[in-house]
Amino acid sequence: MGWLDDWQKAITPPEVLPQPAPKPRALRVKREVHPVFVQIGVPGEGDPGAVEVHFYTVDGDVVTLTKRDGKSVGKSAQIYEGQTAQTTARVMARALGKEEGNVNRKIEYASLGFA
């Protein structure tokens, strides 16, 4: 082995090993996100009431509450006979609002009698 063999090794491309085929990516189907409005405050004298908006997706006969961008908030329910997806989502959203304690509601303070 002389300098000629070293030079030949230097200019010869390395052996190319076959690469494994890339794994197929799972298709992510973007489901349509629907809004549902839930009344959380009853209107009264001088008070227009309050409404919250929640979002949901439908997959077959299952409704899942989501954020606006479609990410699940962890609550799902089956649509029962005679119900619509919107009705199921509204019931779930009301229950979710009660669980969270409705932290975004308007806080009413009692009048102390002075400005």
Locate the domains of the chain by residue range: 34-100
Query: Would you place residue 88 in the very low, low, confident or very high pLDDT band (cuts 50, 70, 90)?
Result: very high
- Measured CA to CA in angstroms, residue 36 lies from 14, 15, 30, 74, 84 at distances of 62, 61, 19, 17, 12
Question: What is the token pair recorded at 67?
Answer: 């954020």
pLDDT average, residue stretch 60-79:
90
pLDDT average, residue stretch 35-56:
86
| CB contact at 8 A, 39 and 51 | yes
- pLDDT at residue 36 greater than cutoff 80: yes
